[in-house]
C-alpha cells in the first residue's frame, strides 16, 4: 500500500494530500529511510513522522483499503512520541 494512502486510511494524518505534502518534505521515514508519498508500506514497518516539534514513531500492524473510524487505530501501534527541543534563534545585539 502507498504511504500516503496508509496515513489517510489509518487516520494518522487526516487528508491524503496533506500526507503527500508531509512525505515530500522528507518528514517521514520508513525503517530509518526517508520515504516519499509513493513508498510502499508493509505490515511490520516502523514509521517516524515529524509533526512540528514532535516525532511520532508507529509500527504498521495491518493494511486495509477501507476501515471504519473505530477500527482505524488497529492498523498501527504508537511506539513512542518525542518532543524536539525548541531551538531559539540567536539574538543579535546591535547596540554598542
**Does residue 18 fall inside a structural domain?**
yes
Based on the structure, what is the number of domains in the chain?
1
**Does residue 2 fall inside a structural domain?**
yes
Beta bridge partners of 96: none
**Does residue 89 fall inside a structural domain?**
no
Please, is 40 exposed, middle or buried when counting C-beta atoms within 10 Å of its C-beta (0-12, 13-18, 19+)? exposed
Show the domain range for 14.
1-81
Alpha helices in the chain (DSSP H): 3-9, 16-24
Coil/strand/helix, residue 19: helix
pTM comes to 0.81
In the structure grid, which three cell numbers stand for residue 66, read together? 477501507
**Does residue 86 fall inside a structural domain?**
no
Q: pLDDT at residue 24 above 70? A: yes
**Does residue 96 fall inside a structural domain?**
no
Segment 50-75, tens digit of pLDDT: 988 899 999 999 999 999 999 999 99
Amino acid at each position: 500500500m502507498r504511504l500516503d494512502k496508509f496515513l489517510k486510511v489509518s487516520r494518522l494524518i487526516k487528508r491524503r494530500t496533506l500526507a503527500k505534502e508531509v512525505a515530500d518534505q522528507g518528514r517521514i521515514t520508513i525503517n530509518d529511510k526517508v520515504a516519499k508519498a509513493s513508498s510502499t508500506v508493509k505490515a511490520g514497518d516502523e514509521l517516524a513522522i515529524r509533526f512540528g516539534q514532535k516525532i511520532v514513531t508507529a509500527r504498521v500492524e495491518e493494511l486495509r483499503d477501507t476501515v471504519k473510524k473505530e477500527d482505524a487505530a488497529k492498523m498501527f501501534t504508537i511506539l513512542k512520541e518525542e518532543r524536539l527541543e525548541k531551538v531559539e534563534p540567536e539574538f543579535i545585539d546591535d547596540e554598542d
